[in-house]
A and B are shown apart, each in its own frame.
Chain A
Amino acid sequence: MTSQDNYFTPKMQRNTLLFIFFPVILIFLPISVLAQKPPSSKASASRFTISGYVDDAESGEKLIGAHIYETGSLKGTTTNIYGFYSLTLPASDSIEIACSYIGYQPIKKSIQLQSNQHINISLNSAIVLEEVEITGTRIEEQSQMSVIEVPISQIKSMPAFLGEVDVLKSLQMLPGVQSGGEGTSGLYVRGGGTDQNLILLDGAPVYNASHLFGFFSVFNADAIKNIQFTKGGFPARYGGRLSSVIEINVKDGNMKKFKAEGSVGIIAARLTVEGPIKKEKTSFIISGRRTYIDILARPFILALTEGEGYGGYYFYDLNAKVNHIFSDRDRLYLSFYTGDDRFYLRASNNYTAKDGTKYKSNNIFRLGWGNITSSLRWNHIINKKLFSNTTLTYSRFKFYTTIKFENIEQSSSSDKVEESFTLKYFSGIRDWTAKVDFDYFPNPDHYIKFGMSNILHKFNTGAVQFQLNTTGASSLDTTLGSKAVVANELSMYFEDDIRFSKRLKANLGLHTSGFLVNDEFYYSIQPRISSRYYLTDNWALKSSFATMTQYIHLLTNTNIGLPTDLWVPATDIVKPQHSQQVALGAARTITLHEKKYELSIEGYYKRMQNIIEYIGGANYLDVNADWQTKVEAGKGWSYGAELFLQKKTGKTTGWFGYTLSWTNRQFETINSGKKYPYKYDRRHDVAIVFTYKVDKYTEFSANWIYGTGNAITLPIARYGSIYGFYWPMSFYGIEYYGDKNSFRMRAYHRLDIGVNFHKKKKRGERTWTIGVYNLYNRKNPYFLYFGKDSKGDPVLKQVSLFPILPSFSYSLKF
């Protein structure tokens, strides 16, 4: 018996106590801060607070991460994700406040600071062609490291695969991030798996962010305001995943006037409409996208099948958001997203026999998956220094398949006989989340964030339903498979971004969480620290340490992200995943010919425990079997160095990224217990992203990426099995693989280009976009297999997916 068992027995009592104990702690902390009086006492009388929102002057969109500072002392703060800031400064008859944000013209304002003031700031966007370098907070100023913000305008001007702008694919070009196979939008961050990324859409988790087996991501760039990508040095407010956090914020909707934009491309069309419902008070945005190949192809398929069958595939996304300003202190946002992929196939047949009996059959096949997320957020300014946000979210991912056979037999001599058989398979996950977050700005040297959240997960790990109905016979309706599992995940955090001196700044925090599933309770205390230290006026040394815990796993036994992959909870057998990551780096802003470039260099070491793999190719689709007995927990390591040089504004924008990394895995029974390279272990990874605005009508862009080939397992020999005693040996032959992932595919590289031609029309602006994917037609490997050449000799063959692919789209904005 362990010492822990001595303290807490019986087990259930311990778990219940812990679960009650947690919220009590969580509630105490905010209360202790809220109880602080506003700065009206004598001691604080000589300091006053300026607070308010920063927004875009034209649309009223709140700006995230705008820098507000006092020009004399340079003490300042940044706006939070709702555009709110609070800055407490000594009283003065005249101080100058400046506000800057990337891509916007900075403004300065002189004020008399003799009382607390609420000042909302509106910024005008900059004219990029003038090559005025306008930036927000400098990279070296931030205490946090391993965070990258990619302006959405940059993403939209990058060359896009088949003309579809893809947010996640643009993130794949950042250092430390690897893509999976050709064309897919999966993210493998610093050696982690695709399940280890927390993707938040307006605060709601998205569990499957891909369409068409990963070839496109679910995020419609027209609706997105801001993306923040964190791959290490996680602040305490983040939790629940090991490898990255991708925060995607949808536009709030124009508060001042109606705007619309739409486009038609090779595979999809999209439309976005936004505007005020009540000027300066309530606004909305609605944005949709749908592919239409199925609609165009349907008449041809019907003609070919003489009307007896049709089928197709499409996906769609719909984002909608409404927000309302009740007062300077209260604001409400309601955000909704739904998106689905659907395959469908229907074939019918009519036949009349010689005796006059009519036969009719219908065969229907449907396959689909999709997400729904919705979030309700309430911003409340409790006092000038304390901002709160309360969020309720719902998120659902569902995968389903339906196969239906219907047969009808009608003869003149007997009654009609109908027989139908339906088979349905479904799996998925649902989350209900309630959370409250506080931002506290006591003075310019501290920026405190704290909060708590509770997530109720419901896992459906796969079930099959059979239905059989026959005229005159008993019907059958049976459902097989695992029952839904409900789990509760509770977390709290506290972090303080502290400026110790002009040189030293640190973000110290603690994230704690608990997970209750069936009779099992897990908890985790995760310290987080990141810091920056100015070595010189320009060079900042940065370091971070973060531990992370993930209570959910993704079961997958394929090398591509399929919607059939199952989300499952940690259980008493399969423990939660943990990671520890340490990083050290340097950052500076380089000025070269009056142009500014952000440079960061980072080295990291990450280790992971309790990551899972299927044991020896086990199959998750056997609904009779318990998935827990089919997986094995193991360890993973990743370490490497990353270089990132980015130019965010001006005529020329883009970045250069390089990653040198090693990633390994080790499981007790896989590869005879020996350590082996992870499939996406990529020694060298290079990305160059370049956009050049030739003039106000023309914009040219290009991407070039290079990556070491994926690690794969190939057979090195073959031999006869014991079942081949009596031949045929070929049928019972065995392939012998040698060490796991000991071979490498050929290196992956590709150049894409695109040109945007803008033109002002009477009403708005039209843009023609022409792009070429894989310009020099590189045959990149998708998979390898042993086949035969023309002489019948065995050879290794490579299948490549996408050759050179041109694309175009037409868009209109008014």
Chain B
Amino acid sequence: MKNKIHHIAKQLFPSISFIPFFLFLFACEMVVEIDMPQYDSQLVVNSFFHSNNQFEVHISNSLGILDTGTFDNIENATIEILENGQVISVLRHIRNGNYRSLRRVYASAGLTYSLRVEASGYESVSAFDAIPVAIPIISATLKDSVYVGELDGTYAETTIKFNDPASVNNFYVIEIYQWSSRNGNWYSIFLSSIDPSVANDQVSSRILFSDVIFDGKIYDLKVYFSNYILTQNPMLFVRLNSISEAYYNYNKSFKLHQQNMGNPFAEPVQVYTNIENGLGIFAGYSYDEVLVR
């Protein structure tokens, strides 16, 4: 029943805006000519990079809205990573448009990195972003079978305590991973939260939030996941990602974009990009993680 309630609450109200569709009893459709501006395909950069790791970047292209082709992975691009204006790495193409820096080149928290991409037939693009310093998890506690009124059900609850630095805009992502002994791998668990700082920002299985309402304070953030997972008695660890503002803006706008796309009565949402002369995202993050079980 709880799922039913939430399903209805979430689905019903946005669908109200579609009710005028019943008036399309009379409606008709026609193809219209519109002067689309000349659109030159741009380079699309997709990269989330984090501390103590190599840079990984995916390069593809964008297409005009009436273009019938598919996105191309750009495999002949020249990609440079710069630190303080100095090139620290030229990335190598691995496969399918994915590029990686040399093993000895690692990103570091607290530093700002720039990116330059050149590819034949496209305008060169650039971007820069910093990796925030990871905010340590003070503690992470796990409780079984907690009733959550707002979610109308019983869940496993994890409370993550951390100290948010004052007078700085901080942005975070929380993830919880479970170990699957069958596959020998870690899997991300689908999380929910009713914390006011999270509001509606959740993207995929993770919790995205900012420190607007708890700037400079020690904060306990609660996240919930299915009790069923605990019955399997897996190993669990919590990861608190400290993400850049660009990372946050991209994810937040991406979710709203997906939500409104195709609804003719809703205002379209532009997905945030920090790529100069191009599209996509180049954003840094770092993280701290603890085992909770």
Contacts and interface: CB of A to CB of B under 8 A. Distances in A.
A624 B150 contact: yes
Contacts of A476: 152
B168 interface: no
A21 interface: no
Contacts of B20: 213, 560
Nearest to A399: B16
Contacts of B39: 716-717
A784 B65 contact: no
Interface residues of B, number: 75
Contacts of B269: 616-617
A797 B194 CA distance: 40
A17 interface: no
A478 B31 CA distance: 49
A774 to B, nearest CB: 10
Interface stretch (A253-261, A268-276, A578-586, A718-726): A718-726
A719 B63 contact: yes
A796 B34 contact: yes
A403 B8 contact: yes
A800 B28 contact: yes
Contacts of A717: 39, 41-42, 62-65, 279
Contacts of B65: 714-718, 735, 786, 794
A292 interface: no
Contacts of B61: 719
Contact of A796 (B4, B13, B31): B31
A11 B9 CA distance: 40
A564 interface: yes
B281 interface: yes
Given A421-B4, A616-B253, A779 B199 contact: no
A718 B261 CA distance: 12
Contacts of A468: 1, 5
B270 interface: yes
Contacts, number: 204
B163 to A, nearest CB: 23
A624 B194 contact: yes
A735 B261 contact: yes
A476 B270 CA distance: 41
Contacts of A119: none
A152 B98 CA distance: 70
A794 B268 contact: no
A102 B257 CA distance: 55
A797 B46 CA distance: 31
B265 A783 contact: yes
Contact of A799 (B9, B27, B194): B27
Interface size class on chain A is 35 or more
B208 to A, nearest CB: 13
Contact of A557 (B26, B32, B194, B267): B267
Given A736-B270, A743-B34, A725 B199 contact: no
B29 A558 contact: no
A401 B71 contact: no
Contact of B9 (A423, A713, A724): A423
B134 interface: no
Nearest to B47: A722
B267 A729 contact: no
Interface of B: 1, 4-5, 8-9, 12-14, 16-17, 19-20, 23-24, 26-34, 36-37, 39, 41-42, 44, 46-48, 58, 60-68, 70-71, 98, 149-150, 152, 194, 196, 199-200, 204, 212, 250, 252-254, 256-257, 259-262, 264-271, 279-281
8 contacts: A421-B4, A560-B265, A616-B253, A625-B199, A716-B64, A716-B65, A724-B46, A803-B28
Given A617-B268, A799-B27, 15 more contacts: A343-B19, A421-B1, A425-B12, A425-B13, A476-B152, A617-B256, A617-B260, A624-B194, A717-B65, A719-B60, A721-B46, A721-B254, A735-B261, A782-B27, A795-B66
